[in-house]
């Protein structure tokens, strides 16, 4: 096996077998692990993957539109556990907090500034990176709604991630949303619909999400089509009547 063989095999998977780019990356990655193991065991000496990189597709986060978010907020549901899941999803959609960080959220993580603004000050369980989020009205109301429903230390009573996502799929169905809804979509929604599309700077959003680099946040800017539409309508109003083409 050498670089030429790997390159041809990569091409074969993409062109002949018509595998998706990310599937090819996965297959090549498994072979690469086997080769590394062979090097460790002194079966082979040279690593043919040293200068080879299989290109995958950049995954785009799945998010909701503003209209779909409003559907979730206003559609009547059928059982208490689904209302709980919906409220937790909305809390995440308006704060950007992840499922694991929400499950770990304690009253000691909340602080009120002199001006009355309530903040979440915590660290991401996944990365250990600090995040600081000033709360909008809806999250504050949800905290008050469920106050006293837990052991006293944690802010919310949570179902398992699996049960939560099963409820969300049913909620999407009841709301007429043709998407495979999962809890992580709420975090995407906060980034794209609630903040970036409303003109909040990317650096600010990155800090609130607890991203270690702004690169992680930048992908959300690519899906804020509502912001593009809004900005261009504003531009059209601003330049209306200022430019005239002769003979038109």
Domains and CATH numbers, the chain: 1-57 (no CATH), 66-230 (1.10.443.10)
Q: What percent of the chain has pLDDT over 90?
A: 44
The maximal CA–CA distance of the chain, rounded, in angstroms, is: 79
Q: Return the pLDDT at 59.
A: 53
In this predicted structure, the answer to whether residue 181 has a pLDDT above a threshold of 70 is yes
Q: Band of the pLDDT at 112, cuts 50, 70, 90?
A: very high
Q: Return the pLDDT at 143.
A: 96
DSSP state of 154: B
Mean pLDDT of all residues in 59-86:
88
Mean pLDDT of all residues in 179-197:
88
Helix (H, G, I), strand (E, B) or coil at 203: helix
Q: Return the pLDDT at 72.
A: 96
In this predicted structure, the answer to whether residue 224 has a pLDDT above a threshold of 90 is no
Q: Return the pLDDT at 98.
A: 92
Residues 6+ apart with CB under 8 A from 237: none
Q: Return the pLDDT at 69.
A: 94
Regarding pTM above 0.75, the answer is no
Q: Band of the pLDDT at 21, cuts 50, 70, 90?
A: confident
Tell me, rounded to whole angstroms, the distance of Cα 17 from its chain centroid: 31
Give the mean pLDDT of the chain.
87
Cα–Cα dist 41/86, whole Å: 52
Burial of 229 (0-12, 13-18, 19+ CB in 10 A): exposed
Tell me, rounded to whole angstroms, the distance of Cα 185 from its chain centroid: 6
Higher-pLDDT residue of 2, 88: 88
Highest mean pLDDT among 40-54, 119-133, 202-216: 119-133
Helix (H, G, I), strand (E, B) or coil at 39: helix
Cα–Cα dist 207/132, whole Å: 7
Report which of 31, 23, 26 is spatially closest to residue 6, judged by C-alpha positions.
Answer: 31
Cα atoms found within 13 Å of the Cα of residue 2, Cβ hemisphere only:
1
Alpha-carbon distances of 82 from 8, 9, 99, 165, rounded to whole Å: 51, 48, 16, 10
Report which of 64, 39, 15, 4 is spatially closest to residue 187, judged by C-alpha positions.
Answer: 64
Q: Band of the pLDDT at 155, cuts 50, 70, 90?
A: very high
């Amino acid at each position: 096996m050498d670089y030429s063989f790997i390159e041809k095999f990569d091409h074969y998977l993409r062109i002949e077998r018509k595998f998706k780019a990310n599937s090819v990356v996965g297959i090549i990655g498994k072979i690469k692990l086997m080769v590394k193991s062979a090097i460790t065991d002194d079966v082979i000496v040279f690593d043919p993957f040293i200068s080879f990189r299989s290109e995958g597709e950049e995954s785009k986060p799945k998010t909701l539109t503003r209209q779909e978010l409003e559907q979730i907020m206003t559609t009547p549901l059928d059982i208490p556990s689904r209302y709980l899941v919906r409220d937790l999803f909305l809390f995440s959609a308006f704060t950007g907090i992840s499922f694991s960080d929400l499950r770990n959220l304690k009253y000691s993580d909340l602080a009120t500034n002199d001006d009355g603004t309530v903040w979440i000050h915590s660290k991401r369980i996944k990365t250990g990176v600090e995040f600081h989020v000033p709360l909008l009205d809806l999250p504050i109301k949800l905290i008050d709604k469920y106050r006293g429903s837990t052991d006293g230390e944690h802010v919310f009573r949570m179902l398992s991630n699996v049960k939560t996502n099963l409820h969300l799929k049913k909620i999407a169905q009841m709301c007429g949303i043709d998407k495979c809804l999962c809890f992580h979509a709420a975090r995407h929604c906060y980034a794209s619909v609630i903040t970036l599309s409303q003109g909040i700077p990317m650096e600010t959003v990155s800090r609130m999400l607890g991203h270690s680099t702004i690169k992680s946040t930048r992908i959300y800017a690519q899906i804020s089509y509502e912001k593009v539409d809004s900005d261009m309508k504003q531009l059209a109003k601003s330049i209306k009547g200022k430019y005239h083409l002769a003979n038109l």
